Amino acid sequence: MPRIQLRITGDRDVFDDVINALHGIDGIERVEEIDDFMNDFRDDSSSQNLSDDMSSKTYTVEVESPRGKLERVREVAEETAGSREAAIEFVDPDENEI
């Protein structure tokens, strides 16, 4: 089953909204939050933990869906995150899975 990972930068409410929207897509097999152990690591420690950096956090979700649904997953996630002004990044699935 093809998988795709999404990284969402925003607050927890935005991330939860995206997960709920993805659960609403017919045929989705699995939507699961993935722990990102590098989330709090910064290359530039001079600005680490400044108030500007602490308002948003990056969350990762992995979605497993039939081949024909991956584009719909992207559309729904992008629309939901974008409406809440959160950044979203798509980590492409393995080339063999598309």
How high does pLDDT run on average in the chain?
A: 81
Q: How many domains does the chain have?
A: 1
Residue ranges making up the domain that contains 77: 3-97
- How far from 35 is each of 60, 72, 83, 85, 96, CA to CA, in Å? 7, 24, 24, 22, 25
User: What was the pLDDT predicted at 28?
Assistant: 92
Q: What is the pLDDT of residues 2-19, one digit of tens each?
A: 899 999 999 999 999 999
Report pLDDT for 32.
94
CATH number at 40 reads 3.30.70.260
State which residues of the chain have pLDDT below 50. 39, 51, 95-98
User: Can you give the pLDDT at residue 95?
Assistant: 47
